Amino acid sequence: MSRGPDAATLLERRLRIVAEAAGVAVTVGEADWTPWASATFVGARHRLTVSGSGIAFDAWVAGLAEAELPLRGHLVADIAVVTRTEDAVVVEVLTVEER
């Protein structure tokens, strides 16, 4: 019995869906994650490189920290753009498992 896609896969898919809804074509390149836990929560820290171009990409990136990214079985607790070049951003995202 399969549990379905993990948080990293769901996150990549959701980023593409949200970008497409904003009229932006993005490519998720390098992606990595590490387990994360606090006294009360379990989740993961994700680091993704997202590429795109144009004014629409710029606007999408500007709103990314406030974006709603619903993921089945997980909550997106934090989103931060940590590095920006002309045609790519490195994004760090904290996901927490719903219990």
Could you give the number of structural domains in the chain?
1
> Is 34 contained in some domain?
yes
Query: What phi and psi values does residue 58 have, to the nearest 5 degrees?
Result: -60, -45
List of long-range contacts for 75-84, beta carbons under 8 Å, 24+ apart: 76/11, 77/41, 77/43, 82/47
> Is 20 contained in some domain?
yes
pTM over 0.85: yes
Query: What phi and psi values does residue 28 have, to the nearest 5 degrees?
Result: -90, 115
> Is 1 contained in some domain?
no
16-61 residue pLDDT tens = 999 999 999 999 999 999 999 999 999 999 999 999 999 999 999 9
